[in-house]
Amino acid sequence: MSIQYVMHFGICVRDLERSLRFYRDGLGFTEAGALEIAGEPTATLVELPGLELEAVYLDREGVRIELLYYPSQGTVGSAEARPMNQPGLTHFAIRVDDLDETLRAIERLGGTVRRHTRVYEENFQSHLAYATDPDGTRIEVIQTPTDPTRPADSP
């Protein structure tokens, strides 16, 4: 098996314009492309008969997300944050200069700050908290002087 590269992560959204304001205008992602698809063969691929899909691709620092909006099918399920121990994608993380400022911005953009998750991690001198986007996707917000997940704390 030979994987060439990871292309993107998909995030289903209830309101495409609201999510674009959140990710593009608020979190600084750059729009990299968009498409509209209806019917086959994509309806079979995504297991949604009568498919209508609007997708917008957004990039930031080599990470690409795909916002998926289904105008005719709508969305199903709750917009509550998934439990961290539920199988599947649980969250993505962002490193910030100012945790408080970022959390205020997330709320202004329609997200929710999960205040009870705010902690200080002494080993890494890091302030952390979880927030969610307007559709309940968890975002780990980290203010830290170093990043132990990157060699030599590269940018």
- What is the CATH number for 56? 3.10.180.10
Helices marked H in the chain — which ranges? 16-20, 42-46, 99-108
In this prediction, residues 62-89 reach a mean pLDDT of 91
Domain that holds residue 134: 92-153
**What's residue 90's pLDDT?**
94
Which amino acid type is present at position 72?
A: S
Shared-domain flag, residues 149 and 96: yes
pLDDT grade for 110, boundaries at 50, 70 and 90: very high
What is the number of domains present in the chain?
Answer: 2
- DSSP at 117: E
**pLDDT of amino acid 154:** 55
The Cα–Cα gap between 150 and 6 comes to: 18
- State residue 147's pLDDT score: 79
Rounded Cα distance, 137 and 48, in Å:
21
Q: Is the residue at 74 inside a domain? A: no
pLDDT at residue 66, rounded to an integer:
97
Q: Is residue 36 part of a domain?
A: yes
The whole-number pLDDT of residue 152 equals 60
Share of the chain above pLDDT 90, in %: 77
On whether both 65 and 28 belong to a single domain, the answer is yes
79 within a domain of the structure (yes/no): no
Q: Is the pLDDT of residue 73 over 60?
A: yes
pLDDT at 149: 77
Residues 56 and 97 in one domain: no
pLDDT tens figures, 117-153: 999 999 889 999 999 999 999 999 999 988 777 766 5
Which token pair is 93?
């993380």
Place of tokens 């690409």: 64
Please, which residues bridge with residue 60 across strands? 63
Interacting residues of 114 by C-beta distance below 8 A, sequence separation 6+? 81, 129, 130, 131, 132
- The mean pLDDT of the chain is 92
Residue 1 domain flag: no
Q: What confidence category does residue 78 fall into, taking pLDDT thresholds of 50, 70 and 90?
A: confident
Shared-domain flag, residues 64 and 98: no
- Residue 151: predicted pLDDT: 65
